[in-house]
Amino acid sequence: MPGVARYKGCPVPDSDKDGINDEEDKCPNEYGVARYQGCPVPDTDGDGVNDEEDKCPTEKGLPENFGCPQLEDYKFDARKVQFVTGSAQLTKPAMTELDKGAQILKAHPAINISIEGHTDNTGTAAGNQKLSEKRAAAVKNYLVKKGIGADRMVTSGYGQTKPVGDNKKSTGRAANRRVEFKIAK
């Protein structure tokens, strides 16, 4: 093995085996990468998602949310985002909750979201599919009017295919007329 005189003919040590010799490694006992001078990629908030991938690097979050907390952690209640039966018209409580959502998104400009529309089983499956897409679009349009960039949101509709409540009861149907929010890439 080639080496150097100051190490008695041995190579310069690499204690953490990261390929960066200890003389140049700022973290010689921790596996790291060259762009951080041998130190690990930082994880400022300690949530296990490194800062290069973390959309919320100063707040502990979840890996599946790209390092961001769940929207519910911000006191956002997606269940309150409801619609008038058979339409994509937001209810007043829905607008109040979406105002909170807009504030969260303004405070966290790196967060992008997926807006998924759903319906109850009133009407036809084809009609409900279109309605769910319109509901997701209505939420996106509302948030755009509140100053959130359209490019930060993607929408999709699932019609009546993913109920969360019993469609035989009015409370169940109301729960099914909803949108769900997910942190997106």
pLDDT digits (tens, 9 = 90+) for 32-59: 999 999 999 999 999 999 999 998 898 8
Query: Does any domain span residue 22?
Result: no
Query: Does any domain span residue 169?
Result: yes
> What's residue 95's pLDDT?
96
Query: Does any domain span residue 5?
Result: no
Q: How many domains are there within the chain? A: 1
> For residue 108, what is the domain's CATH number?
3.30.1330.60
Query: Does any domain span residue 121?
Result: yes
pLDDT at 73 over 90: no
Query: Does any domain span residue 8?
Result: no
CA 107 to chain centre: 14
Mean pLDDT, the chain, integer: 92
- Residues 92-119 have a mean pLDDT of 93
- Residues 137-141 have a mean pLDDT of 98
Query: Does any domain span residue 149?
Result: yes
pLDDT at 178 over 80: yes
Residue 98 sits in which domain range?
A: 70-184
Query: Does any domain span residue 111?
Result: yes
- Residues 135-153 have a mean pLDDT of 97
Query: Does any domain span residue 146?
Result: yes
